[in-house]
């Protein structure tokens, strides 16, 4: 992105105003006030209640209907979960292979393809949401927000030339996607504005008593995220920070580290101190606890588990000494004993 484009986007975000020029007039759409938010919540509640009383399906009921009609399935749901997991894995791989530039390009192509597939599945799942209680209520709330926040020459607009739905459509299309917000966050001019946010007399946003816009909320959230990255003891290189795919992989690794540390702490509290033990066997009560215990293993242990499961699947029953990893460990110990004897 060119610098003048960043400056344009940042100026628009900081103003908190969406300008729409059409039919010889320029309309201004502001973010709502707190009082507006109260009114909008009431509009949503009323629209939801009316739709529900008229027999309109909720989102959960609509999803069940889609499954009954063959428009959605458990396999589709599993596909979404699988794609999300695959994308996380690919982003970890692109981070771990960041010095292999040829492989990085291949992995990145896989990430883009996975994102497209995930988006297609989500669109398929949500295609009937507009016909649910939640969808209808959301539309009524959005239309009311446009009515409360659209101005012409400092006065509320009467929508005599432009209707609410037209303005709502272009207003929703104006929001920036996450990738663009992240790019703005780590570059000037936003970096300078963010750095100066606590300077006396400086205003980060010019909302004048109104709530933050979606773009303002997102850029603040990502600014704090990047601050945390830079302040981390394991902070990655500048190249990784500027590469969104690699940084996402770093995020996944850090999250897994925290979850493992938390699980280990909880495990020690439940079962006593086990640090230093080669293997600890735990009987779990359900699938959730099984996943939690499995996630406490590091990458090497998880690989051994997969190898043992494959051996058991192929041969049925095995003794402890029959597992490949145990045999390798024994041979390693024997070799070490031989080396020690040779030295003596």
pLDDT at 170 over 60: yes
Look at residues 35, 108, 118 and name the one whose alpha carbon lies nearest to residue 76.
118
Tens digit of pLDDT for each residue in 83-92? 999 999 999 9
Confidence band of 291 (pLDDT split at 50, 70, 90): low
- Give, as one character, the DSSP assignment of residue 212: P
- Tokens 């709330």, residue located: 141
In whole numbers, what is the pLDDT of the chain averaged over residues? 90
Report whether 206 contacts 200 (CB < 8 A).
no
Percentage of the chain beyond pLDDT 70 is 86
Q: pTM, whole model, 2 decimals?
A: 0.79
CA dihedral in degrees (188, 190, 195, 200; nearest 10)? 130
Tens digit of pLDDT for each residue in 189-220? 999 999 999 898 899 999 989 999 999 999 99
Gap between the Cα atoms of 156 and 150, Å rounded? 6
Confidence band of 317 (pLDDT split at 50, 70, 90): confident
Choice between 293 and 188, residue whose per-residue pLDDT is larger: 188
Cis peptide before 189 (omega within 30 of 0): yes
Choose from 169-173, 204-208, 260-264, 330-334 the range with maximum mean pLDDT: 169-173
Q: What is the DSSP code string of 35-71?
A: HHHHHHHHHHHHHHHHHHHTTPPPHHHHHHHHHHTTS
Gap between the Cα atoms of 93 and 85, Å rounded? 12
> What ranges do the domains of the chain cover?
3-71+128-231, 297-344
pLDDT at 12 over 90: yes
Cβ count near 140 (within 10 Å)? 18
């Amino acid at each position: 992105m060119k610098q003048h484009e960043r400056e344009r986007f940042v100026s628009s975000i900081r103003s908190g105003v969406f300008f729409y020029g059409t039919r010889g007039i320029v309309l201004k759409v502001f973010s709502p006030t707190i009082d507006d938010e109260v009114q909008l919540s009431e509009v949503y509640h009323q629209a939801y209640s009316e739709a529900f009383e008229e027999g309109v399906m909720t989102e959960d009921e609509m999803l069940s209907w889609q499954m009954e009609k063959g428009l959605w399935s458990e396999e589709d749901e599993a596909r979404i979960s699988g794609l999300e997991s695959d994308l996380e894995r690919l982003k970890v791989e692109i981070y771990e292979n960041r010095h292999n530039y040829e492989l990085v390009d291949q992995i990145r192509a896989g990430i883009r393809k996975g994102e497209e597939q995930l988006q297609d599945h989500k669109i398929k799942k949500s295609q009937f949401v507009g016909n649910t209680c939640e969808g209808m209520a959301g539309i009524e709330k959005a239309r009311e927000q446009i009515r409360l926040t659209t101005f012409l020459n400092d006065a509320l607009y009467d929508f005599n030339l432009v209707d609410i739905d037209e303005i709502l459509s272009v207003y929703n299309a104006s929001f920036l996607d996450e990738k663009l917000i992240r790019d703005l966050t780590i570059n000037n001019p936003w970096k300078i504005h963010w750095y100066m946010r606590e300077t006396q007399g400086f205003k980060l946003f010019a909302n004048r008593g109104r709530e933050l816009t979606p773009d303002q909320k997102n850029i603040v959230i990502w600014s704090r995220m990047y601050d945390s990255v830079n302040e981390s003891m394991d902070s990655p290189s500048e190249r990784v920070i500027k590469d969104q795919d690699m940084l996402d992989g770093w995020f996944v690794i850090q999250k897994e580290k925290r979850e493992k540390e938390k699980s280990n702490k909880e495990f020690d509290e439940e079962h006593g101190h086990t640090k230093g033990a080669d293997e600890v066997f735990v009987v779990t009560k359900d699938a959730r606890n099984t996943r939690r215990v499995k996630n406490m293993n590091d990458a090497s242990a998880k690989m051994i588990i997969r190898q043992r499961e494959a051996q058991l699947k192929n041969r049925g029953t095995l003794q402890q000494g029959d597992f490949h990893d145990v045999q390798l460990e024994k041979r390693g110990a024997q070799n070490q004993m031989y080396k020690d004897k040779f030295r003596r």
